């Protein structure tokens, strides 16, 4: 049976949040950066399993009231809407919704895939920092297991590297709450 095709017709003005509702539900990740549509192909199973392991680690360390959400939409500005792999929401964040506002976000985590590597390393950290999100983790997947690159927002409004942790190495960080980061624990099947 033939798959239905989607006829791409970009809006005459920049892409907006409501335009995302008209796009196909095909497994691709659709994000808007400064009014431009960015499409990332679906990630593989290993990517999702690793993100699930990280989410579980964050949930087990989170104090009451904190929420750890997979692929929540984050509204950074009217023209920039991103969907990080994991978003840590502060206590008091709305209980549900499609897009969360930046003040409710304490940490975003991006797990690299071949289709997202450049955005996760170059584009997204600047956008998250500009929006004032306190912490950013970029998880690099490699032959020897995941490596967590941990960043913290400075008073100057950019991310400063805290550490890169991989394998059985471990580090306790305080943001957004105390948690021991041990990527080797996430890598059992990845």
Query: Domain spans of the chain?
Result: 44-186
| Residue 1 clears pLDDT 60, i.e. is over it | no
pLDDT tens, position by position, 107-138: 999 999 887 888 889 999 999 999 999 999 99
Least Cα distance to 70 among 52, 58, 46 occurs for: 52
Supply the pLDDT for residue 2.
55
DSSP 38-50: EEEPPPPHHHHHH
Nearest to 136, CA basis, from 172, 110, 117, 156: 110
Which is higher by pLDDT, 116 or 182? Answer: 182
4: pLDDT strictly greater than 70: no
Q: What is the DSSP letter of 62?
A: P
* pLDDT for residue 41: 86
pLDDT band at 190; cut points 50, 70, 90: very low
Q: Is the pLDDT of residue 90 over 50?
A: yes
Looking at the domain that runs over 44-186, which CATH code has it been given?
3.90.1570.10
């Amino acid at each position: 049976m033939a798959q239905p095709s989607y006829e791409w017709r970009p809006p005459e003005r920049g892409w907006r949040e409501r335009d995302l509702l008209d796009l196909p539900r095909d497994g691709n990740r659709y994000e808007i950066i400064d009014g431009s549509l960015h499409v990332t192909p679906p990630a593989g199973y290993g990517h999702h399993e690793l993100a699930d392991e990280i989410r579980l680690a964050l949930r087990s360390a989170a104090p009451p009231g904190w929420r750890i959400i997979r692929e929540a939409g984050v509204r950074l500005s009217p023209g920039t809407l991103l969907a990080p792999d994991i978003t840590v929401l502060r206590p008091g964040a709305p209980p549900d919704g499609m897009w969360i506002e930046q003040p409710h976000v304490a940490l975003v985590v991006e797990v690299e895939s071949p289709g997202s590597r450049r955005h996760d390393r170059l584009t997204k950290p600047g956008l998250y920092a500009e929006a004032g999100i306190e912490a950013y983790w970029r998880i690099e997947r490699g032959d020897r297991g995941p490596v967590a690159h941990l960043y913290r927002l400075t008073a100057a409004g950019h991310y400063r590297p805290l550490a890169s942790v991989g394998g059985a190495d471990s580090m306790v960080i305080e943001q957004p709450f105390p948690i021991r980061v041990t990527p080797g624990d996430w890598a059992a099947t990845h």
